[in-house]
Chains A and B, each alone.
Chain A
Amino acid sequence: MMQDVKIDSYQFLVLVILFTIGTSILVIPSDLAADAKQDAWIAAIIGTAIGLLVVWLYCTLAKWFPHLTIVQMNEKVFGKWIGKAISLLFVMMAFIYTASLLYYSGTFLNTHAMPNTPMVAINILMAGTVVMGVRLGLEVIARSAEILILVFFVLFLFLVIFIAPEIKFENIQPVFEVGPIRLLKSSYFYVSVSSINAVVLLMIFPNITNKAKQAKTSFFMGNLVGGIVIILLTFLCVAVIGAEKTARELYPGYELAKKINIGDFIQRIEAIMGTLWIITLFFKLSLYFYASVFGLAQILNLKDYRPLTLPLGMIAIALSLVMYPNIIFQQQWDETTGSSITIVVGLITPILIVIVYAMKKKFKKKSS
């Protein structure tokens, strides 16, 4: 099938970094600060550590079933029909998140960049680009990621360096005021959004060439680097604009960029933050969409996933306009049902695969 598309482990590393940062760069600092207050950055560190554990689970699965996507793993371990049913849940999750990210990008651009444009138009543009990328194939997406990640890091470094003079260390004190349990609990949403959602990356894992250790290292490194970016950004948000403001704002990273003021000359360059975020969002969106289209094609035993892209893209746009009646609903839903679905698809199912497969192997050993 489409397994003949090959990406190398560096491209996978880049994709994992962009996926991990994803939407977290814009919304996670707010969520962390609401729970952990000025220790939000410590919660981010804990979240990154837990995320690495989750990635370890996925690498174990990839090691046991080389050359199989997670949809194929489901079929192999649970049998044809139950496997397909579980994979359908996976595809549904990936597709819902596709529409969800379209909503995120549409709302952000609508509020901050083009308020008079109807969100439909913005979503069509974004979805159109994603559909085009997925149709052109994984290689194309990976190569664009290689280029755009350089843009990302240059801009991110720019942001960090120029906001650094504004750090007020009183804002992060008292350190460790909230207890460790509270910190653990507040990191939950971040782990779920950045690391457990990374289960969709198991759809592209079989496409990596130099297998064995390098691909796994890429997965870990990617998650780690992405995590460091989030930790850094959360720290800067709390240190520069304070914990309460961070928790209150919808997009604290954007507020952060507004503070950059170099010699009263370079000011209000928050559009740069917007660019950063569009880049990571685009790739996360592409990966979700690729996972849903490719997964659906594997469930239905199609020879090619490309015919599905345009119709599903259309449905995704429609869904993105309908799913969240308002932003309060979106925040509420994402944190409750959204992360429940993530846990079922991204944590419970892989753990089940591990358990069932281990039991099957033991059973075979006993009978032979």
Chain B
Amino acid sequence: MVKSLGIVLIAALILWIEVPTLLKKKQKKELIIFSIFLAFGVTLCIMLGFGIAIPNPLEFLTFIFKPLNELKSRFLK
């Protein structure tokens, strides 16, 4: 619980650092993309804080690159 509050606090801090500059410069596209990534990051961190297991993207990548891996290890043995 405390961790999530901490993360939300940090997210608020990040918003306070970034958003005024973006609004002043009227960079709407940057603002939207920034918000998407920030939301994603905060969600990830809160999930981590609660101990919910996040699917590891590396395992997904291992699956995709499996044929290349095997080709490589054959070359290198």
A residues apposed to B, CB below 8 Å: 96, 185, 188, 300-304, 307-308, 310-312, 314-315, 317-319, 321-325, 333, 336-337, 339-341, 343-344
Contacts and interface: CB of A to CB of B under 8 A. Distances in A.
Name the residue among A310, A321, A336, A344 with the largest chain B CB count within 10 angstroms. A310
B9 interface: no
Given A337-B65, A340-B72, A318 B48 contact: yes
Name the residue among A301, A321, A337 with the largest chain B CB count within 10 angstroms. A337
A304 B65 contact: no
22 contacts: A96-B61, A185-B75, A188-B76, A300-B29, A307-B31, A308-B34, A310-B14, A310-B18, A311-B34, A311-B37, A311-B41, A312-B37, A314-B10, A314-B45, A315-B40, A318-B44, A318-B45, A319-B44, A319-B57, A333-B58, A337-B61, A341-B65
B33 A315 contact: no
Interface of B: 10, 14, 17-18, 22, 27, 29-31, 33-34, 37-38, 40-42, 44-45, 48, 54, 56-58, 61-62, 65, 68-69, 72-73, 75-77
Contacts, number: 90
A302 B30 contact: yes
A188 B65 CA distance: 18
Contacts of A303: 27, 30
A339 B71 CA distance: 12
Contacts of B68: 340, 343-344
Contacts of A300: 29, 33
Nearest to A344: B68
B69 A315 contact: no
Given A300-B33, A314-B41, A315-B41, A339 B72 contact: yes
Contact of A185 (B41, B48, B56, B76): B76
Contacts of B31: 307
Given A319-B44, A344-B68, 18 more contacts: A185-B76, A302-B33, A303-B30, A307-B33, A310-B17, A311-B38, A311-B40, A312-B37, A314-B45, A322-B54, A336-B62, A337-B61, A337-B62, A340-B72, A341-B61, A341-B65, A343-B72, A344-B65
Contacts of B58: 96, 323-324, 333, 337
A319 B41 CA distance: 10
A337 B71 CA distance: 11
Nearest to B62: A337
B74 to A, nearest CB: 11
A337 B69 contact: yes
Contacts of B33: 300, 302, 307-308
Given A310-B14, A315-B41, A321 B61 contact: no
Leading 7 A-B pairs by shortest Cβ distance = A311-B37, A314-B41, A311-B38, A307-B34, A318-B44, A340-B65, A340-B68
B48 A322 contact: yes
A113 B75 CA distance: 39
A301 B62 CA distance: 30
B21 to A, nearest CB: 8
A323 to B, nearest CB: 5
B5 to A, nearest CB: 15
A43 to B, nearest CB: 13
A203 B13 CA distance: 30
Nearest to A185: B76
A277 B27 CA distance: 39
Contacts of B34: 307-308, 311
Nearest to A300: B33
Contacts of A308: 33-34, 37
Given A311-B37, A336-B73, A337-B69, A322 B42 contact: no
